[in-house]
């Protein structure tokens, strides 16, 4: 531990260990966030009273002082399955001054038969006006679901008044919804939020008497509540979903759009910028919520657990393992037997997701025979139908009748195997179920690190909104994954991964420090909500919390450490020691940079913190005891933590004074810290 220094009146410690040569078996950036390249550059800009960031063609965090006006503005190219065709930028020119800026760039969006080229400009004026344009041409003939601007209002706009200018010229007074608005489908047509349709402009009240006006040209716009997919925003997009999609774009087609942001009303001068504030993390008053049951999914690679993997999973004190059983498949009994063996080996129960077809009655009868023979340690059934996104009453009644004959004490639940959006759209048959479930992932619409971090508070918003229609039914979030397991909205076959690429369900950040930090943030918001059960990831392999002992056949540019754990393993280990305890309320002053959770059990308090950014952050922790013990996992010791997790976890940490309950920690990029007292 380095010598303490005084920073801002607080005692500051920088905790570090010597870097070992073995660390460089993996590139540094792979260890940090899974990608062997530095993060994209973010350029700070100013348009008079507004501050913002430019990043790869996007505008992010347009603010008036501390007040966020828009979260992001970007151009999206979506293929026939709503997949994002990633942009490649060229000839980027940024001219910025103290009060104004101008940016120009060229973009190519290419994937498969899609070849779309466009030129963009962005300008900011001293009065706060911002104008963006895109002028593109199709260089091939292809199918698209969307091409054009997307504008994100932050979810903190919930409940704020808006004025909507419709294409016919009328002005309608409305408000952003407080609870997540369902994206309804009526007669096969996807509907936007009520009133937020056929728009050529929208304005919302930023401060009393101050309005931010957006005006669009080149297409008709509408708005959806992206909290349905855990994006922390309301998205206004071009091309109404009432129009058929996908649509053929013929070679030579030109697409032009523009948008203008202006301020109307008294514009106060900001007192200070974000950079002037100390980054703080505070333990708040209150008893908090009981820590939910926490489990993992059975590995999709179907390989049995080795003795070493069993021992490491036992150390996580998992409540359960989730197994997916498609009853129409001939190897269903084999999967059930493997799952029962895995659960028994680590001392967990099974949360069994049963997928029925239209021949459900026959399938369930055969499944009962398997249950009588295998006798798996099941504690809950989750019932889904192969042809439905949300399980209907008919299948629930049939499943309950059959499964009750095996063990009527086992809870039966359902909802959706897909996103919260599906649960919100098709409300579950509450009279037929004992609990409600849905899954989460942060990569339905955006894929960069910062966008993933933005989704964390929105996970709690789904719980709060679910409570509005499920009442006090127990709630299980199952599973939480870094990427989509499947695309429930695909309009055609999913493309196969190219040679040397990862499967579409795999994110290399699973093995990184960033993956650990994101997991901690997810646990903070979900475990701190009114949730009874959480299931994350898988046990081993690409989508698990540890590498298999044999190693995975990763492409060469994604190196691995066979037999190692991933950094997120240590997050689950640190949380699992508080099973039966409570999640104490806590708050970060900037949850895009540092997030964490506080746990308490039998007079012992543990604070877990993660730096979610690629820069070193100093955070002042408030509400501690006068003396604490601190342990840090970062780039200097991550290889030790991955390859020798038992030894790493036994290290006692460093004792540090926290006078007045305050402690300042310097956290390296994507570092994870544990503070105990």
3-state secondary structure 221-277: EEEEEHHHHCCCEEEEEECCCCCCCCEEECCCCEEEEEEEEEEECCCCCCCCCHHHC
How far apart CA 557 and CA 501 sit, in angstroms, is 9
Interstrand relation of 627-633 and 654-657 (parallel, antiparallel or unpaired): antiparallel
According to the model, what pLDDT value does residue 36 have?
A: 67
**Residue 19 carries which DSSP code?**
P
Q: Which residues contact 334 (CB under 8 A, 6 or more apart)?
A: none
CA separation (Å) from 250 to 143, 215, 220? 9, 28, 20
3-state secondary structure 615-645: CCEEEEEECCCCEEEEEEECCCCHHHHHHCH
Could you tell me the pTM of the whole model?
Answer: 0.92
Token pair for 158: 């919930």
Cis peptide before 479 (omega within 30 of 0): yes
CATH number of this structure's domain 5-34+590-676:
2.60.40.1180
- Residue 669 falls in which region: left (phi positive, over 0), alpha (psi -120 to 50) or beta: beta
How far apart CA 319 and CA 514 sit, in angstroms, is 25
Q: What are phi and psi of 406, to 5 degrees?
A: -85, -50
Closest C-alpha among 97, 90, 116 to residue 45: 97
3-state SS assignment for residue 66: coil
Q: Which residues sit opposite 84 in a β-bridge?
A: 78
**Which parts of the chain have pLDDT scores under 50?**
1-24, 274-275
CA angle centred on 577, ends 575 and 580, rounded to 5°: 90
How far apart CA 311 and CA 563 sit, in angstroms, is 12
Token pair for 345: 């080996």
According to the model, what pLDDT value does residue 262 have?
A: 97
Q: Are 662 and 591 in contact (CB under 8 A)?
A: no
Cis peptide before 312 (omega within 30 of 0): no
How far apart CA 438 and CA 410 sit, in angstroms, is 19
Token pair for 615: 């820069």
| Angle, helices 567-576/513-527, rounded to nearest 10 degrees | 30
Residue spans of the domains in the chain: they are 5-34+590-676, 50-269
- Residue 448 falls in which region: left (phi positive, over 0), alpha (psi -120 to 50) or beta: beta
Neighbours of 625 (CB within 10 A): 13
Q: Are 132 and 59 in contact (CB under 8 A)?
A: yes
How far apart CA 280 and CA 282 sit, in angstroms, is 6
Closest C-alpha among 117, 120, 202 to residue 161: 202
Q: Which residues contact 61 (CB under 8 A, 6 or more apart)?
A: 51, 52, 53, 68, 71, 72
CA separation (Å) from 539 to 43, 305, 482, 513? 40, 9, 14, 18
Interstrand relation of 146-154 and 67-78 (parallel, antiparallel or unpaired): antiparallel
How far apart CA 481 and CA 510 sit, in angstroms, is 9
CA separation (Å) from 73 to 26, 187, 368, 662? 35, 31, 53, 38
Tell me the torsion sign for CA atoms 584, 590, 596, 602: negative
Residue with tokens 């639940």: 413
Residue with tokens 């899954």: 439
The pLDDT tens digits for 169-204 are: 999 999 999 999 999 888 888 899 999 999 999 999
Q: Residues for the chain: how many in total? A: 677
Report the Cα–Cα distance between both ends of the chain, in Å, rounded: 18
Q: What are phi and psi of 339, to 5 degrees?
A: -65, -40
How far apart CA 512 and CA 361 sit, in angstroms, is 45
Spell out where 265-338 has E strands: 279-283, 289-290, 293-297, 320-326
According to the model, what pLDDT value does residue 278 have?
A: 85
Closest C-alpha among 410, 415, 425 to residue 385: 415
How far apart CA 268 and CA 328 sit, in angstroms, is 64
Token pair for 283: 């333990």
Token pair for 169: 């010229």
Q: Are 60 and 52 in contact (CB under 8 A)?
A: yes
Q: Which residues contact 316 (CB under 8 A, 6 or more apart)?
A: 296, 545, 569, 572, 573, 576
According to the model, what pLDDT value does residue 40 have?
A: 78
CATH of 50-269, one of 2.70.98.10, 2.40.50.140, 3.40.50.1580, 3.30.43.10: 2.70.98.10
According to the model, what pLDDT value does residue 189 have?
A: 85
**Residue 117 carries which DSSP code?**
E
């Amino acid at each position: 531990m380095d010598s303490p220094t005084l920073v801002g009146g607080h005692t500051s410690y920088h905790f570090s260990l010597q870097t070992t040569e073995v660390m460089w078996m993996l590139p540094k950036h792979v260890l940090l966030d899974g990608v062997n390249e530095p993060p994209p550059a973010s350029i700070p800009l100013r348009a008079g009273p507004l501050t913002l960031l430019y990043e790869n063609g996007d505008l992010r965090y347009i603010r008036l002082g501390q007040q966020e006006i828009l979260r992001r503005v970007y151009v999206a190219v979506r293929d026939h399955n709503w997949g994002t065709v990633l942009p490649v930028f060229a000839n980027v020119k940024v001219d910025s001054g103290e009060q104004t800026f101008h940016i120009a760039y060229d973009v190519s969006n290419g994937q498969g038969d899609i070849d779309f080229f466009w030129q963009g400009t962005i300008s900011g004026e001293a009065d706060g006006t911002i104008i963006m344009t895109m002028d593109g041409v199709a260089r091939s003939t292809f199918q698209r679901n969307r091409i054009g601007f997307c504008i994100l209002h932050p979810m903190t706009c919930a409940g704020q008044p808006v004025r909507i200018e419709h294409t016919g010229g009328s002005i309608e007074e409305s408000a952003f919804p407080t609870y997540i608005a369902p994206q309804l489908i009526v007669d096969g047509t996807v509907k936007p939020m009520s009133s937020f349709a056929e728009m050529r402009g929208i304005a919302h009240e930023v401060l009393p008497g101050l309005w931010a006006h957006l005006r669009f040209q080149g297409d008709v716009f509408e708005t959806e509540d992206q909290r349905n997919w855990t994006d922390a925003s309301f998205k206004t997009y071009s091309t109404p979903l009432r129009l058929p999609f996908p649509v053929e774009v013929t070679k030579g087609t030109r697409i032009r759009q523009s948008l203008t942001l202006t301020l109307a009303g008294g514009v106060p001068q900001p007192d200070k910028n974000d950079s002037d504030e100390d980054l703080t993390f505070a333990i708040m008053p209150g008893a908090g919520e009981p820590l939910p049951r926490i489990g993992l999914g059975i590995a999709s690679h179907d390989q049995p657990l080795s003795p070493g993997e069993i021992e490491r999973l036992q150390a996580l004190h998992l409540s359960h393992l989730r197994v997916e059983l498609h009853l129409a498949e001939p190897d269903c009994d084999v999967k059930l037997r493997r799952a029962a063996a895995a659960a028994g080996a680590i001392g967990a129960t099974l949360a069994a997701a049963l997928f029925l077809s239209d021949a459900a009655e026959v399938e369930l009868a055969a499944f009962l025979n398997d249950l009588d023979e295998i006798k798996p340690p099941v504690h809950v059934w989750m019932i889904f139908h192969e042809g439905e996104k949300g399980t209907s009453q008919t299948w629930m009644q049939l499943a309950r009748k059959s499964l009750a004959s095996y063990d009527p004490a086992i809870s039966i639940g359902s909802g959706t195997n897909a996103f919260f959006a599906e649960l919100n759209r098709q409300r579950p048959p509450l009279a037929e179920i004992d609990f409600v479930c849905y899954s989460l992932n942060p990569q339905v619409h955006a894929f960069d690190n910062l966008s993933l971090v933005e989704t964390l508070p929105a996970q709690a918003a789904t719980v709060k909104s679910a409570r509005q229609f499920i009442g006090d039914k127990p709630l299980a979030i199952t599973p939480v994954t870094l990427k989509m397991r499947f695309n429930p909205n695909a309009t055609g076959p999913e493309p196969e991964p190219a040679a040397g690429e990862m499967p579409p369900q795999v994110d290399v950040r699973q093995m990184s420090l960033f993956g650990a930090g994101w997991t901690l943030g997810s646990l903070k918001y979900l475990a701190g909500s009114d949730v009874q059960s959480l299931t994350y990831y898988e046990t081993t392999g690409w989508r698990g919390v540890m590498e298999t002992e044999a190693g995975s056949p990763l492409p060469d540019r994604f190196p691995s450490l066979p037999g190692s754990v991933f950094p997120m393993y240590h997050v689950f280990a640190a949380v699992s020691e508080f099973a039966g305890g409570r999640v104490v309320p806590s708050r970060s002053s900037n949850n895009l940079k540092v997030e964490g959770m506080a746990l308490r059990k039998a007079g012992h308090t543990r604070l877990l913190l993660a730096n979610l950014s690629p820069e070193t952050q100093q955070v002042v922790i408030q509400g501690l005891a006068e003396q604490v013990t601190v342990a840090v996992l970062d780039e200097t010791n991550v290889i030790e933590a991955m390859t020798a997790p038992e030894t790493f976890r036994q290290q006692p940490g460093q004792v540090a004074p926290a006078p007045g309950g305050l402690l300042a920690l310097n956290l390296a990029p994507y570092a994870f810290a544990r503070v105990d007292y």
